[in-house]
Amino acid sequence: MLRTTAARAARAASRSAIARSIPAPRSPALPRLPRLTRSFSATPHHFASSSTEQQQGGPRLAGQGEKGLTVALGNGAETTFSYIWLRDHCREERSFHPQTKQRLVDTFKIPADYRPSAARTTNEGLYITWPETAFESSYESFFPWSFLAEHAYNPPLLRTKDLPSPLEQKVLWSKEIAKDVPTVTYEEVMESEKGVYEWLKQIDVYGFSFVSGIPGTPEATEALIRRIAFIRETHYGGFWDFTANLEHGDLAYSDVRLEGHTDTTYFTDPCGLQLFHLLSPDHTHSGGHNLLIDGFRAASILRTQHPSFYDLLSTLPIPSHASGSGSASLPSGVHMRPLRRFPVFNHDENGELVIVRWNGDDRGVVGGEAFEGKTMDEWYEALRTWEGILRSDEAQLWTKFEVGTAVIFDNLRVLHGRSSYTGTRRLCGAYVNGDDYRSRLRGLQKQFGEDPRRKALQELLKSRYGVSFVDKEKGGAWEDY
């Protein structure tokens, strides 16, 4: 069975509480859009709500304008949707493919003055009848109240701060996690989809996971990785099976010490997951311990203790490159550059930290107009402070590779490194795209688990607006597409 001890649960709760106590930086709130003027002027179009809903104060149709209609939800909150938006977001089979979840309607053929011929409401949602036109034959669209409440924009009915931060779903850890590292067995992962889900869930929550009981062959290791998704090909190849050499033009293929770092910062899209498995050690060698650091935890510490440094490393772009000389496998050498420069801390549109992107060895020359008006000494002090957190004893989880046990980690969160070593060791492994990994996790989550943010959204919509998600049987088109 998977290792799910009471001690781990207690520590997870404790660390989750710590994570929640550290707010993520947010972008300034968007200004509230002005509400469209409600119009009840005479019109040949017919709009109706059931009298039962109006008596009970449930969601209802509140008004009609030239360009859109207004709905009122259970607590009296009103919001307006344009007719073009409603037609563009119809999820009936004529407009939205039920299998591929892709839009079928040609948005740019919808007439600018398109208006429904009728509308009605039920406990489940809003029904709109579109008229017979040169654009299309008459038919009816359905919009669940939950969908309208979630995506309302004029004005918005939900704010990002209303829902738990994605960081709250993570367990931020220190070296103490060595007492009970997240682990699954090879057999569990290979035997069932539920086993894959439990594995990916550990990676999602902790940023890494160990897999024990792997046959000591590259074939078994590759089969394990492919349980997640396709292997990502790079200039290093696809699946690696290597010993220390500089054929690939990178220090990773040497025996020198490597501090905690992110791999492939010189890619516009860095690799998502990375897996290592020791195939055969040289028992005469020494050193070669392996390092993992929770970059999200380190970033949280920096933001709390040195907010100006955090802001600096969130805004100033850093050049990265891979520029190894030629070899037998790469005769023209390596000349990698991302399409643009990126800062150390990268956030989503809501200001939530999503990527830690730091590799001091692959860093290029800093300067230029990006630093105009900035103090270079302050930038170096920010980096020195950041690196000090990463190199602190408390932050570092040191382990020793063993034949039969692999480690996989989220390269966009967990930094990795190693101590120098002597002798020879043979490792294998591969990269997996981050988007492929997250897609696989979401798919398995629908089968075996529950998205905590969707659950929180459902509870919020119910308590605040008195609306619920549509049943699973008919709700596939309404999830998050």
Q: Are residues 247 and 384 in the same domain?
A: yes
> Do both 99 and 199 map to the same domain?
no
Same domain for 300 and 184: yes
Residue 26 lies in a domain: no
Residue 32 forms part of a structural domain = no
Which DSSP symbol is given to 176?
A: G
In terms of Cα–Cα distance, which of 381, 380, 390, 391 is closest to 299?
390
Are 380 and 216 in contact by the 8 Å Cβ rule? The answer is no
In a shared domain, residues 76 and 184: no
Task: Tell which residue, 336, 355, 359, has the closest CA to residue 345.
Answer: 355
What is the residue range of 190's domain?
Answer: 166-444
Q: Does the residue 283 lie in any domain?
A: yes
What is the C-alpha end-to-end distance of the chain, expressed in Å? Answer: 35
DSSP letters for 181-220: --EEEHHHHHH-HHHHHHHHHHHHHHSEEEEE---SSHHH
Residues 6+ apart with CB under 8 A from 315: 343
pTM of the shown model: 0.83
Q: Are 406 and 254 in contact (CB under 8 A)?
A: no
Residue 34 lies in a domain: no
Per the CB < 8 A criterion, the answer to whether 306 and 349 are in contact is no
Residue-by-residue pLDDT tens, the chain, 481 positions: 334 333 444 444 444 433 433 333 333 332 222 222 222 222 334 455 443 444 456 899 999 999 999 999 988 899 999 999 999 999 999 999 988 899 999 999 999 999 999 999 999 999 999 999 988 999 999 999 999 999 999 999 999 889 888 888 999 999 999 999 999 999 999 999 999 999 999 999 999 999 999 999 999 999 999 999 999 999 888 999 977 554 544 444 555 778 999 999 999 999 999 999 999 876 555 667 899 999 999 999 999 999 999 999 999 999 999 887 666 667 678 888 999 999 999 999 999 999 999 999 999 999 888 888 888 999 999 999 999 999 999 999 999 889 999 999 999 999 999 887 677 778 999 999 999 999 999 999 999 998 888 889 999 999 999 998 876 445 555 666 5
Query: Looking at the domain assignment, is residue 41 inside a domain?
Result: no
Q: Within a domain: residue 62?
A: yes
CATH number at residue 213: 3.60.130.10
Same domain, 87 and 236: no
- Any domain includes 319: yes
User: Do residue 405 and residue 321 come from a single domain?
Assistant: yes
CATH number at residue 122: 3.30.2020.30
Identify the helix (H) or strand (E) that includes residue 463: helix 452-465
b or e along 277-288 (b: 16 or more beta carbons within 10 Å of the residue's beta carbon)? bbbebeeeeeeb
Strand ranges (E), 401-456: 406-410, 414-418, 425-432
User: Are both 358 and 473 inside the same structural domain?
Assistant: no
Query: What's the number of domains the chain is made of?
Result: 2
Which H/E stretch holds residue 84?
helix 83-88
Do both 388 and 459 map to the same domain?
Answer: no
Token couple for 423: 């002798």
Residues 61 and 86 in one domain: yes
Instruction: Decide the pairing of beta strands 208-212 and 183-185.
Output: parallel
Query: Which secondary structure element, helix H or strand E, spans residue 301, and what is its range?
Result: helix 295-305
In a domain, 39, yes or no: no
The answer on 376 and 297 residing in a single domain is: yes
Q: Are residues 86 and 183 in the same domain?
A: no
398 plus 457 within the same structural domain: no
